[in-house]
Structure 1
């Protein structure tokens, strides 16, 4: 499929349809945490965005090694007409910003249990990617 800059939202549309981030976001806080629905609804989409984007950054090397080029990073680079390196940087920065927004909203609610659960999830999500050998993140990579 030939992508153009006019199809700017298509890469993320496809990304959301092929991932499970929405399920993670909706199952993150058990009932006992008492996250107010008016707080949660403000961050649900940001959590989904964070999960998607972080996964795309941390999965990129594995996919690159496997020769996979039909993924979010490559699709986004095609529609934005940016390099793969710049696209990865953009995606990483957007993930950082989404995490910051989630954290700020949860902190402003005063529910520190929810804040701590989010932080534990973020740490665990990183650990998941770094401890599974299939992601190859334990390898030393020379970057030119």
Structure 2
């Protein structure tokens, strides 16, 4: 994913983070899939990652979503562990992951604010 490489400043040696790139790419892809689930579900879309995952593993969509969210967090943690030996790479990776998630949470694209309109009585 093109977002990942520019997250690291030029002064951070490539060798300090290159092994974390696949984990960060997975994290980016899966964050989108996790956050897209609600908007896709409310319109009845069946051609999405969570539904395909549920069908492949013969589990419910909610269980697939939970598993995907856990895998996404695990990818982010693995990336952080990989870069933990280099403070510059660690700081850049941490800022990237946090910023990527916050940016997407703030986006109206996912319709997540609708989830907070309903109150359990």
Q: Same fold (TM over 0.5)?
A: yes
CA separation of 1:40 and 1:114: change in aligned 2, threshold 3 A: closer
Which of residues 13, 22, 25 in structure 2 aligns to 1:35? Answer: 13
SS of 1:24's partner is coil
Q: How far did 1:30 drift?
A: 2.8
Q: How far did 1:134 drift?
A: 2.2
* Structure 2, gaps ≥5 residues long: none
Which of residues 26, 36, 42 in structure 2 aligns to 1:59? Answer: 36
* Structure 1, gaps ≥5 residues long: 1-21
State the TM-score, normalizing by the size of structure 1: 0.73
Q: How far did 1:92 drift?
A: 0.6
Q: How far did 1:43 drift?
A: 0.9
The whole-number CA distance in structure 2 between the counterparts of 1:88 and 1:142 is: 22
Look up the match of 1:89.
Answer: 66
What's the C-alpha RMSD, in Å, of the aligned pairs? Answer: 1.8
State the TM-score, normalizing by the size of structure 2: 0.85
SS of 1:30's partner is coil
Look up the match of 1:114.
Answer: 89
Greater than 3 Å deviation, 4+ residue runs: none
CA separation of 1:63 and 1:112: change in aligned 2, threshold 3 A: same
Q: How far did 1:121 drift?
A: 1.4
SS of 1:23's partner is coil
SS of 1:85's partner is helix
SS of 1:82's partner is coil
Matched residue count? 118
Residues 1-144 of structure 1: pairs in structure 2 closer than 5 A: 22-32=1-11, 34-37=12-15, 39-107=16-84, 109=85, 111-139=86-114, 140=116
